[in-house]
Amino acid sequence: MNPHRPDPTDPEADVSAAPLTDAESAEVEAALRALALAEPPASLDARVAEALRAAPALALTDAPPADDEAPTLSFADHPRRSGWMTWLTVAAVLALLAALGLSVLLPRHTTPDGPSLVDQRPGPTETPDRLADTPDAGPSVTHVGHRFTEQPVELRWSRDLDQGLLTSAEGQPVRAIRRQDVEQRVWVDTQRGITVQITRPTERLVVVKQPTF
């Protein structure tokens, strides 16, 4: 296709306009090139220069990309969102483990005269004599022979998500509630003046027995 010829299938085509020859097109183009474009204002040059100077800082801001431009960073690549992705992944794994535990424990705890609230909590934590490279311990700290005292767990953030009604194997309806917390746990070794602080998200699945009619 000759790109200088109008496309007859183009809906914008103006049938009244006579096509130009190459010579005529070149003549008009030459006349146009003789025109001088307006000079951008000096204030624009200054603003652009400032924007280019500030570019490294801008790259770290949370400005949303324009609708029309393909983002160069994926959702998970964003520095702030990657943290949330990690949290969500951890929460999903915990939810899966809780669901598996529920499927095993639910028939034992949902007898007709049983408790109306079944709380699947992890067992009581022991005061650690040794903090090692375990997921709960967090930082790689090992102190043999020194006793850390655990401070009361501080709840920093919490929310409950209604997961709807379930039916146990015995046919008992229960309401599942997913409780998400962010806890802060602190161990203090007063002798050595060492404080270990861990902030971690936790998730529990709570089932509440529902009345039957």
Determine the Cα–Cα distance for residues 170 and 73; give it in Å rounded to an integer. 50
Q: Shortest Cβ distance from residue 86 to another protein (Å)?
A: 24
Q: For residue 23, state whether it binds another protein (rule: CB under 8 A).
A: no
End-to-end CA distance of the chain: give it in Å, rounded: 78
Residues in binding contact with another protein, number by CB under 8 A: 53
Burial class, 110, CB count within 10 angstroms (exposed 0-12 / middle 13-18 / buried 19+): buried
Question: Helix (H, G, I), strand (E, B), or coil: what is residue 194?
Answer: strand
20 vs 90 by CB, closer to another protein: 20
Stretch that binds another protein, among 66-74, 102-110, 154-162, 184-192 (CB under 8 A): 66-74
**Beta carbons of 204 and 118 less than 8 angstroms apart:** no
Stretch that binds another protein, among 20-28, 87-95, 151-159, 164-172 (CB under 8 A): 20-28
Stretch that binds another protein, among 46-54, 122-130, 134-142, 180-188 (CB under 8 A): 46-54
Stretch that binds another protein, among 37-45, 85-93, 155-163, 203-211 (CB under 8 A): 37-45
Q: Tokens at residue 124, please?
A: 């009581």
Q: For residue 4, state whether it binds another protein (rule: CB under 8 A).
A: yes
Q: Tokens at residue 73, please?
A: 């960073």
In SS3 terms, 77-114 reads as HCHHHHHHHHHHHHHHHHHHHHHHHHHHHHHHHCCCCC
Site map (CB under 8 A) of another protein, residues 142-181, x = contact:
----------------------------------------
Positions touching another protein (CB under 8 A) are 1, 3-7, 9-10, 12-14, 17-20, 24-25, 27-29, 31-41, 43-45, 47-48, 51-52, 54-56, 58-59, 61, 63, 65-72
